[in-house]
Amino acid sequence: MQVNRPTEEQIRSRAYEFYLQRGCQPGHERNDWLQAEQELLQLPTHKLAQLQPPKFEKGQASTKSK
């Protein structure tokens, strides 16, 4: 059985949503990432495939590591 895994971009986007919901407080990056990954792994394959890529505003920093 093949497991559809969320992409790094999907996880990053969801983790960023957690960051925003918390009022942009830093220091929870790892927990946000793990929570996002766990949440996305629970989605049915067809729901995961329907997720839109993140839309960052101009000048908004990406959470991607360099």
Query: Phi and psi at residue 64, in whole multiples of 5°?
Result: -70, 135
pLDDT confidence tier of residue 31, bands split at 50, 70 and 90: very high
Structural domain of 30 = 1-40
Residue 50 domain flag: no
Per residue in 35-57, pLDDT tens? 999 999 998 877 877 776 656 55
Alpha helix segments (H runs only) across the chain: 8-21, 29-41, 45-50
Of residues 1 and 13, more confidently modeled: 13
Give the model's pLDDT for residue 51: 77
Q: How many domains does the chain have?
A: 1
Residue 51 domain flag: no
Residue 64 domain flag: no
Task: Report, as an integer, the average pLDDT of 21-35.
Answer: 96
Give the model's pLDDT for residue 17: 95
Residue 16 domain flag: yes
Residue 59 domain flag: no
Residue 14 domain flag: yes
Q: How far is CA 8 from CA 23, 37, 60, 64, in A?
A: 23, 9, 18, 9
Task: Report, as an integer, the average pLDDT of 2-10.
Answer: 82
Residue 58 domain flag: no
Residue 26 domain flag: yes
